[in-house]
Structure 1
Amino acid sequence: MKKSLVFTSLFLLVFATSKAEKRRVLFLGNSYTYTNDLPNTLKQLALSLNDTLEVDSYALGGATFNNLANSPNTLAKLQIANWDYVILQGQSQEPAFSPAQVANDTYPYAKQLDSLVHVYNPCAETIFFMTWGRKNGDVANCAAYPPICTFEGMQQRLRESYMEMTQDNHATCSPVGVAWKNVRNQFPAIELYNPDESHPALNGTYLAACTFYSSIYQKSTVGASYTPIGMNATDASNIQTVVSSTVLDSLETWQQFGSLPLANFNYSNNQNSYSFTNLSNRASQYEWNFGDGSPLNNTPNPSHLYNTAGNYTVTLKAVDSCGKYSIRSKSFTVTLTPNQITNINSSNNENIFYKNGTFFLNTKANELKLFDLNGRLLSSQKSLNENTSFHVANIPNGIYFYQIILTDKKVIRGKVLVD
C-alpha cells in the first residue's frame, strides 16, 4: 500500500534583505520553513555573531520536491540573484517512506531542483534540509510501513534519504534532524514540537537556525546573544551547545559530497622552524597567516621560521574557485634556544658563506635549510659533506637564515649575507 502525505493549506512567501551583504541564502520548502520564520531567525542569529546574511524564501504549505520543482515561483526566486546557498526542504513525510517509494516519488524531483539551482546560480551550494521525525512517529502511515512508527525509526529513514540525495546531487546536508534527535536525548525537557507533534515550536526553529548557521559558516553558535522573544535563555544555550557539536564534530560527514571548501592542516617543527601540511578539501587557493606579522603566504604546504619566542596562532584560509572559503586556526608556543645558535657574522666560526652565486658549507651535516626573512623555505639539502657547495637560483641580495642539523643531531642556526 502506498503511503499518503498529509498536506496543510497554509501558504507563505517570505522575503528579507540585509544591506551589508556577505552571504545570500534562499530557502525552498514548506511549513517547516515558514513556521516561526526560520529564514529571519537564521538572519538574526548570524547578525548576533557578527555575520550578515541576505535571506529569501519560497515556502508553500505541504509542498513536496515535485511541487517545488514544477512551480513558477521556484524559478522566479532562483532567477532573482546569485545565491550563495539554496536550501531544499521536502514534505516532512515523503523522504521517510520506503526506499523504493522515495526513489520513485522524491529523488527525481530533488535532482531536478538541484539542476535548476545551478542553471541560474552556477556557484551556489545546494544544502539539503534534513528534517526531523514526528514526535511519536508517523501514525498515519505506521501500519503500511512499520519502520516509521516511532520517532527513532522515522528519523533514521529521513537521515538515510537526505544523505542519499546529498550524495547523488554532490551537495551539502544540514543535519537538523540529527541535532533534533541529540537535543531530545540530552535535554528531554526542551520542547521542540508544536502541539501537532510535527511542526517546530520556537525552540525547534531556533535549533534549525543554529544548525544552518554552523553548516554555512563552519562556526559554533555557542555564546550567540540572539534569542527569539519568548524563548528560555538556558534552553537556547543548551541548543547552541548540542547543535554546534552535532555539526562541527562531524563536518566532513555532512559536506563531503558537495563543493564547499574545508580548511585543515597539521604542523611539525624543529625548534623554531615549522613545516605545515595542508589537509584541506575542495579548495584551489590558500592563504597562510603565521601570526607574527610576516607577509601572507599562498603556497599549499609552506615552511616558516619564527625569530622570536612566544605564542602564535597560525590561520589557513582555503578558497574554492567560486570564492567560498573556510578558515582553520591552530595555536602553539615557540621556544628558541639561543645557546645553540651560531651567528654567521662571527669571524671565528663561519658555517656557511656565499660567494659568486654559490653557497659553501664548512661542516658535515645531516641537513641544511635556507630561509628568507619571511620564513619561506628556499632550499633543503641533505647528507652534506664538509666543504659542500650548492646553488639557489635567482636569489636576490639580502640576509637569509639557515638551519643546520649536524651529524650529532645538534642544531645550528644563523644568518648568511648574499651580496
Structure 2
Amino acid sequence: MKKVIISVLMIISAGLSAQSQGNQLRYVLFLGNSYTAANNLPQMLSDIALSTGNTVVFNSNTPGGYTLQAHSTNQETLSLIESGGWDLVVLQEQSQLPALPIEQVEHMVFPFARKLDSLINISDPCVETLFYMTWGRKNGDSENCPQWPPVCTYEGMDSLLALRYKMMADSNMAILAPVGRVWHYLRTFYPGIELYASDGSHPSLAGTYAAALSFYTAIFRQDPILVTYNASLDPETAGYIRNAVRLVVYDSLASWNIGLYDPAAGFNAEVNGFEVSFANSSLFADQYEWDFGDGSASALPNPVHIYNASGDYEVRLVAGHCNMSDIETQVIHVLPTGIEMVSSSLTRIFPNPGKGIITVSGRNGFLKGYSSELMAIDGRMIIIRETGTMTDSMTMDITGVQPGIYLLKVKDLADNTVLIQKVIISAP
C-alpha cells in the first residue's frame, strides 16, 4: 500500500521556540508492512504533528507480511529511496523475525537492515534511518513457540524484539522509535488500555496512537505531552498514552540513539608565540567554519593561524553535517614568542587589581635580584626595572599607567626563571 499525504502547517504554538515546539517540517518515508499500515500510522503521525504546529510530508510502501529482505529488492521501495528528499526513512521488519534465534536473525534480518541503510545513505547521506521497534504478540508467538521457547510468552518475545532492534540501530548508527517499550510500559501500568486488535498481533487504534506518538517524539524531539490530537480516543486514555511516551521516549532520547549522531564541535589549540595550531576533535561533522576572533576565518578542518598581536581571542568553531551544526567557543591566550603564563602558585602579586604600588613576591625570594617588565597585552613595554640585590619581594610603581589588563614579566636572576602574570590596573 502506498500513499502520499501533505499536511499543511496551520498552527504555530505561542510562547515556544521553533526548536522546542512547532514550525518544523520533516519528510518521512515508511517502509514496512501491515503493522505500519494499520490505522494509517503515517497519517496519524501527520495529524499529531499538525496539532503542535509541525508538518510531516510522508510516503509509504507497506505490503502485508513484508520483510526487510523483500523490501531490499522491491522496485517500488528502491524507487522511493532513490527519489530522495527524505529527512528520515523508517524501516520495520516482519513482526516475528527479529525474535528468532540469533543465527537466523544474523542470516535473515541484519544483512538486509544494513543493505537498506546503505542504499538510503548512498541516495542521500543526509537522510537518517529510523528503525520501528515493534512489540511482542499479546500471548507470545504460538507459531514459533514449539521450536523456540523464548517466544512462547509476550515478555520473552518482546524482550528479544527490543534487543534485536537496538542491535540493528547501533550497528547502522541509526535511531529508534521504541514503540515496543512504550507498549510494555502501558501493559504494565495501564492494563485496561487495549493495545491489540482482535488477532492479538496488530495494533488497535490506541496501539497505533502510541506508535505515532513515539515517532513524533523521535522525529521532532519534542514533548508529546503538548500534543492535542487524540485520534478519536477518549481524552483520559490519550493522556495516559502521551505520558507513557514522554517517560519512555522523550525523557530518554539518548537511550534510543536520538541526537547521538548529531555533529558535536570540539577542538584543541597549541600556541607558539603568535602562531596557533588548531586540532579539530569534532564528531559526526564534515563542514567547518572557524572564526579566529581577529576578523579572520577558515573552512579547513585543522587550520594554523598567525595573529598580528598579543591578546585574548575568542575562537569559535561551527561544525556541521547536512542541515545540523554545533558550536564550540574557546578563549585563546596569545603572548609574545617564548613567553608562557605560569601558575599563580609560583608567584604572588598584590593588590591585583591594583593602583599606585604593587608588590611581587617570588617563590623563594630573589636571591640574585630580578628584572621586571610591565607590558601591554599587545607586547608594548610600559615599565622596565632591574636590580642586582637579593630581596624577598619587589615593588613597582604603576601610578599614571592607564587602567586595563597588562602582563608583568619577572625574571629571577638566580636561575633565569621567567614568571608571567596578568595584572589588572584599576582606575585611581
- Correspondence list, 1:121-136, <5 A: 121-136=124-139
**Where does residue 146 of structure 2 map in the other structure?**
143
Q: Is the 8 A contact 1:42 1:212 kept in 2?
A: yes
- Correspondence list, 1:323-334, <5 A: 323-324=323-324
Choose which of 14, 20, 23 in structure 1 pairs with 2:3. 14
Q: How far does residue 236 in structure 1 lie from its aligned partner after superposition?
A: 0.9
**Where does residue 409 of structure 1 map in the other structure?**
none
**Where does residue 321 of structure 1 map in the other structure?**
321
Identical aligned pairs, as a percentage?
A: 38
Choose which of 229, 237, 243 in structure 1 pairs with 2:245. 243
Alpha-carbon distance between aligned partners in 2 of 1:62 and 1:401, rounded to the nearest angstrom: 75
Which ranges of structure 2 fall in alignment gaps of 5 or more residues?
10-23, 266-281, 290-317, 328-350, 361-371, 380-402, 406-423
Q: How far does residue 228 in structure 1 lie from its aligned partner after superposition?
A: 0.8
Alpha-carbon distance between aligned partners in 1 of 2:215 and 2:208, rounded to the nearest angstrom: 11
Alpha-carbon distance between aligned partners in 2 of 1:26 and 1:326, rounded to the nearest angstrom: 26
Q: Secondary structure at the match of 1:134?
A: coil
Sort the Cα spacing of 1:350 and 1:142 in 2 relative to 1 into closer, same or farther, 3 A.
closer
Q: Is the 8 A contact 1:107 1:165 kept in 2?
A: yes
Q: Is the 8 A contact 1:95 1:106 kept in 2?
A: yes
Q: Secondary structure at the match of 2:39?
A: coil
Alignment of 1:102 onto 2:102? no
Q: Secondary structure at the match of 2:249?
A: helix
Q: Cα deviations across residues 73-124 of structure 1 (Å, max 9, x unaligned)?
A: 1011112331110010010011111111111111111111111111212210
Alignment of 1:26 onto 2:29? yes
Q: Is the 8 A contact 2:353 2:426 kept in 1?
A: no
Q: Is the 8 A contact 1:125 1:258 kept in 2?
A: no
TM-score (structure 1 length as normaliser): 0.64
Q: How far does residue 251 in structure 1 lie from its aligned partner after superposition?
A: 1.6
Sort the Cα spacing of 1:84 and 1:112 in 2 relative to 1 into closer, same or farther, 3 A.
same
- Correspondence list, 1:6-405, <5 A: 12-18=1-7, 22-229=25-232, 231-255=233-257, 259-260=261-262, 282=284, 320-324=320-324, 351=353, 389-391=375-377
Sort the Cα spacing of 1:391 and 1:223 in 2 relative to 1 into closer, same or farther, 3 A.
same
Alpha-carbon distance between aligned partners in 2 of 1:74 and 1:361, rounded to the nearest angstrom: 79
Alpha-carbon distance between aligned partners in 2 of 1:146 and 1:168, rounded to the nearest angstrom: 27
Alpha-carbon distance between aligned partners in 2 of 1:45 and 1:256, rounded to the nearest angstrom: 19
Q: Is the 8 A contact 1:138 1:154 kept in 2?
A: yes
Indicate the RMSD between aligned Cα atoms, in angstroms: 3.9
Q: Is the 8 A contact 2:7 2:47 kept in 1?
A: no
Amino acid at match of 2:5: A
Sort the Cα spacing of 1:258 and 1:67 in 2 relative to 1 into closer, same or farther, 3 A.
farther
Alpha-carbon distance between aligned partners in 2 of 1:24 and 1:141, rounded to the nearest angstrom: 37
Q: Secondary structure at the match of 1:128?
A: strand
Larger Rg: 2
Alpha-carbon distance between aligned partners in 1 of 2:145 and 2:4, rounded to the nearest angstrom: 37
TM-score (structure 2 length as normaliser): 0.62
Alpha-carbon distance between aligned partners in 2 of 1:145 and 1:70, rounded to the nearest angstrom: 29
Alpha-carbon distance between aligned partners in 2 of 1:176 and 1:215, rounded to the nearest angstrom: 10
Alpha-carbon distance between aligned partners in 2 of 1:363 and 1:52, rounded to the nearest angstrom: 65
Which ranges of structure 1 fall in alignment gaps of 5 or more residues?
1-11, 264-279, 288-317, 328-348, 353-359, 366-385, 394-399, 403-412
Q: Cα deviations across residues 328-369 of structure 1 (Å, max 9, x unaligned)?
A: xxxxxxxxxxxxxxxxxxxxx9947xxxxxxx997679xxxx
